[in-house]
Amino acid sequence: MIEARELTKRFGDIVALDNITASIRDREVFGLIGTNGAGKSTFLRCVSGIYKPDGGSVQIDGREVFEDREVKARFFFISDDQYFLPNSTPLEMGRFYGAYYPAFDMEHLRKYLKEFGLPEERKIGTFSKGMKKQLSVLLGLSAGTDYILCDETFDGLDPVMRQAVKSLFAREMENRGLTPVIASHNLRELEDICDHVGLLHRGGILLSRDIDELKLGVHKIQCVFREEGLPDELAVLNIIQKEARGRLHTLIVRGDEEEIRAVMSSVKPVFYELIPLSLEEIFITETEVAGYDIKKLILGE
């Protein structure tokens, strides 16, 4: 397990990470959401041991990451700005990484290159942005590490390739217990893959919760009543958001599903149904309660 405790990183007068505490459990997908400049890349570089923290610590299974070569060998970091050796080919990059990662599997890499249609002896400099992103992921998966840290990995991939990469992560998690940590500015990209999501803003974590826990505690209700307005009996519900379009009411309610259904049934609406919330809607709700507008922070609206 990766544990960041009161992690702080400064660059001169700029505080990139401000007293962050977070846990990343093994064999789960951890999604880190935040706008550009929120501190995502700095966090991943501290976790992988590239940056030395100015305060606090980053540990894996109780061992400090920075300057511990054995611990660093358990991570493969995919930067948003990928670097490849000049005039190198995919196989040459595989041999390069094989010198640093004892578990690097060249046959694994060849298999993946064939699956993705990437020519193994072609110069990487001739690859498109999307092809380079794919290659970075394939090199990372072939390294045989316990953790793969991805900085905006899905940016530049078309929808088909995004799903293919997600499928590879799922396969490696099942086969050898890989733990992906994925940073992105786009919440929608991570909704169908993450087990736990953290929202990073201005160097601090606003929210860090399990996806299942988030979805269980908040419910979206669409309902129609015989009279205009909401019945007084609904005041017992913890309604944190409401909207009306004509006689159709949309409510966001926090609480136990069975208790909510019991209250809704008791007021005998013309119609009501509970609708699953998207991860985006849940985060909007949670952060608005805390005084933030995620639509501006993440969605750019």
Residues 60, 133: Cα–Cα separation, whole Å = 27
Q: Mean pLDDT across the stretch 49-54?
A: 93
Average confidence score pLDDT of the chain: 87
Indicate the fold that domain 213-277 takes in CATH: Alpha-Beta Plaits (3.30.70)
Residue range 266-295, pLDDT digits in tens: 999 999 999 878 777 777 666 665 545 555
**Is 123 within 8 Å of 88 (Cβ atoms)?**
yes
Q: What confidence score (pLDDT) does residue 110 get?
A: 96
Assign 63 a pLDDT band (cuts: 50, 70, 90). Answer: very high
Q: Where are the domains of the chain?
A: 2-202, 213-277
Q: What confidence score (pLDDT) does residue 294 get?
A: 53
Residue range 194-230, pLDDT digits in tens: 889 888 877 787 677 787 777 777 889 999 999 888 9
Q: What confidence score (pLDDT) does residue 300 get?
A: 45
Residue 113 has pLDDT above 80, yes or no: yes
Residue range 150-184, pLDDT digits in tens: 998 887 788 888 889 889 999 999 999 999 999 98
What is the model's pTM?
A: 0.79
Residue range 15-44, pLDDT digits in tens: 999 998 989 999 999 998 877 778 899 999
Residue 301 has pLDDT above 60, yes or no: no
Residue 57 has pLDDT above 60, yes or no: yes
* CATH match for 2-202 among 3.30.720.110, 3.30.530.50, 1.10.357.10, 3.40.50.300: 3.40.50.300
Residues 6+ apart with CB under 8 A from 82: 132, 133, 135, 136
Q: What confidence score (pLDDT) does residue 193 get?
A: 85
Assign 91 a pLDDT band (cuts: 50, 70, 90). Answer: very high
Q: What confidence score (pLDDT) does residue 296 get?
A: 53
CA-nearest of 200, 211, 183 to 280 is: 211
